[in-house]
Structure 1
Amino acid sequence: MEEKGEKVCEAARLGDVAGITSLIDAGYDVTYFDADGLTPLMHAAKLGHTQIIRKLIEAGAPWNALSPSSLSAGDFAMQFGHQDSFDLLLNAGVQAELILGTIARKEKENGHLNGNYLEDRVSFSEDKLMDKDSKAVMMAWEKPLMEAHAKAVCSGGGHVLNIGFGMGLVDMAIQQYNPVSHTIVEAHPDVYDRMLSNGWGEKENVKILFGRWQDVLPQLGSYDGIFFDTYGEYYEDMREFQQYLPKLLKPGGVYSFFNGLCGDNAFFHVVYCNLVSLELENLGYTTQLIPLPVKDCLAEDVWEGVRQKYWQLDTYYLPVSQYIDDSV
């Protein structure tokens, strides 16, 4: 088996289309990892052999397999500047996730997010909100991002909805725009109690709804700006929330969300940026992704005491979604 796998890797490195075709037809293993932990697809991506990539993907080579350094074939195509190969792998990833949702499922299986979050205690410090497993729910380094999100969702008009208070970073920024109404949905009892003790319940333009967004939906109205940033949920939950946008978001309104999707892998992140944009487009919304550099916010000591780095990329893509008005 090892010899057969090596032959597939060699054909992929050489860009031998006829050779790879005959090996695939003979049933050779396209999922093989060589001694360096690389698959045939990774070898082809490193060298920009687009035809080989197409053949391997059609034969079932996993687009999301990872090398020992946690790089996928798409990461190699990005790293070595092979745009055609990158585009092909990106399309393969988006199509696979639309159908299978493999990355989202892996996150769920690996416990990247905490399903019992609402039942557990959380702890607050000056620069972070942590769950009981020392995973960060929200951190102070996100403040510039939250200010940018607030600016986006407040540009649509005076009635704003935020799903998920956390440390209150986005809500403090929203208040700077003096919205007519500012509705906050928060489900964690500790966070809710802290909100009240910090006076959020006494602000004239603020309405707090305690509970999961799924449970308070009947109490929601329609809004000029909506921001979504929950913890302990998965991509499927955000996808479900977005199905309600036509009812919740006024014409001309702005929707945004914390774009932490696959924040530890550059290529997977691009796949999910494209995936969510496509799914929002299917609902009638156009999505602009605004690049914000975050490298300077992420000194190594930022993660001190945090069990898992939920963000490891140099650029954050801030999503701004609005209804597509065909009459314009």
Structure 2
Amino acid sequence: MEENKEESLCAAARTGDVFKVASLLKSGADVTYFDRDGLTPLMYAAKNGWAEVVTALLDAGAPWNALSPSNLSAGDFAMESGHQSSFDILLNAGIQAELILGTIARKDSAKANPNGDYLDDRVTFSEDKVMDRESKAVMMAWEKPLMEAHAKTICSGGGHVLNIGFGMGLVDTAIQQYKPLSHTIIEAHPEVYNRMLLTGWGEKKNVKIIFGRWQDVLSQLKSYDGIFFDTYGEYYEDMREFHHHLPHLLEPGGIYSFFNGFCGSNAFFHMVYCQLVALELEHLGYFTQLIPLPVKDCLGEDTWEGVKHKYWQLDTYYLPVCQCSDDSE
């Protein structure tokens, strides 16, 4: 019956009947349909590993980023079920879509304030977090092991180091342990900047603090052997803009890294952005290695108490290590 066309499409996708799927699509079945369980035909095809059906549904306009009631996309289902071919097809579809539209990062960018006025907000400091006025976390103590790993990465070559975004000072404290020749910190929030001065950061011999947005102080920067980027109140497009300055800021053989928190509530979306950033950096001449770090033990039950947005909900963090592609030759 006509009204069962979409249910038939879900059934055909579930069983991998590519000819039935093609016939139903040709007859006008709605490829965006969610059944009573909250699943789409694409989710069923991905969950069962029917790569040919996945391709047919994507070609017909099935949304790769639709979410089930349990916050899982078709890519998550393919990943959880171990269906590599379907996963690869969906990952490529996601990367291509985000290159054109960038919708996920704009909606769910980690550490991004949609109001765009973070620098004018009051922030509150406590022992384990810095919060904005909406009770969203600017930085939290659970990130300390990650920041220590980032610091070790960008300081591995010694020399001169640049960090953009002080926050709680976790990465900068770790950087100091490696005694770089110089340690430049850019911080744009006036209250965070004042706190830096009150806690003695302006008196450290090898530290230079630059107050302002990184976009406004580029003329004050030199070139560095290690660079870390971790801003709050910005979106993916801001980091992409910063990446275009890397050839002038990063010394040959230097290491660049950034807080890789994009789409931290969905494993597949996060993987899309890991690959997307690596691809865009590759076009700029940089090779990116992603080092998996388990973080489940860092996130206790009370971690997010009082925090409005859980910006990280995954068990693994992928630490990016970026170097000029020519350096590996």
What TM-score results when the alignment is normalised by the length of structure 1? 0.97
Partner of 2:249: 248
The amino acid across from 2:225 in the alignment is: D
Equivalent pair of 2:65/2:73 in contact (CA under 8 Å): yes
Secondary structure at the residue paired with 1:325? helix
Equivalent pair of 2:45/2:54 in contact (CA under 8 Å): yes
Secondary structure at the residue paired with 2:175? helix
- CA drift of 1:156 comes to 2.6
Take 1:67 and 1:112, find their aligned partners in 2: how far apart are those partners? 26
Partner of 2:303: 302
Q: 1:113 to 1:298 in 2, by over 3 A?
A: farther
- CA drift of 1:3 comes to 1.9
Partner of 2:152: 151
- CA drift of 1:113 comes to 4.3
- CA drift of 1:107 comes to 3.0
Q: Deviations over 1:196-233 (max 9, x none)?
A: 00011111111111011000111111000000000010
**Stretch moving more, 139-148 or 17-26:** 17-26
Partner of 1:85: 86
Secondary structure at the residue paired with 2:326? coil
Partner of 1:136: 137
Alignment pair present for 1:205 and 2:225? no
Q: 1:327 to 1:104 in 2, by over 3 A?
A: closer
Partner of 2:51: 50
**Stretch moving more, 24-33 or 59-68:** 24-33
Partner of 1:319: 320
Q: Deviations over 1:253-296 (max 9, x none)?
A: 00000010111100001110000000111100000100111111
Partner of 2:287: 286
Secondary structure at the residue paired with 1:27? coil
Partner of 2:126: 125
Take 1:138 and 1:122, find their aligned partners in 2: how far apart are those partners? 11
Partner of 1:171: 172
Equivalent pair of 1:157/1:253 in contact (CA under 8 Å): no
Secondary structure at the residue paired with 2:192? helix
State, as a whole percentage, how many aligned pairs show the same letter. 76
Structure 2 stretches of 5 or more lacking a match? Answer: none
Take 1:312 and 1:117, find their aligned partners in 2: how far apart are those partners? 23
Alignment pair present for 1:218 and 2:216? no
Secondary structure at the residue paired with 2:23? helix
Equivalent pair of 2:9/2:41 in contact (CA under 8 Å): yes
Take 1:36 and 1:259, find their aligned partners in 2: how far apart are those partners? 33
User: Aligned Cα RMSD in Å?
Assistant: 1.3
- CA drift of 1:53 comes to 0.1
Partner of 2:108: 107
- CA drift of 1:240 comes to 0.6
Corresponding pairs, count: 326
Partner of 1:7: 8
- CA drift of 1:300 comes to 1.0
The amino acid across from 2:87 in the alignment is: F
Q: 1:210 to 1:326 in 2, by over 3 A?
A: closer
Take 1:327 and 1:320, find their aligned partners in 2: how far apart are those partners? 13
Structure 1 stretches of 5 or more lacking a match? Answer: none
Take 1:23 and 1:289, find their aligned partners in 2: how far apart are those partners? 41
What TM-score results when the alignment is normalised by the length of structure 2? 0.97
Take 2:91 and 2:182, find their aligned partners in 1: how far apart are those partners? 40
- CA drift of 1:112 comes to 5.8
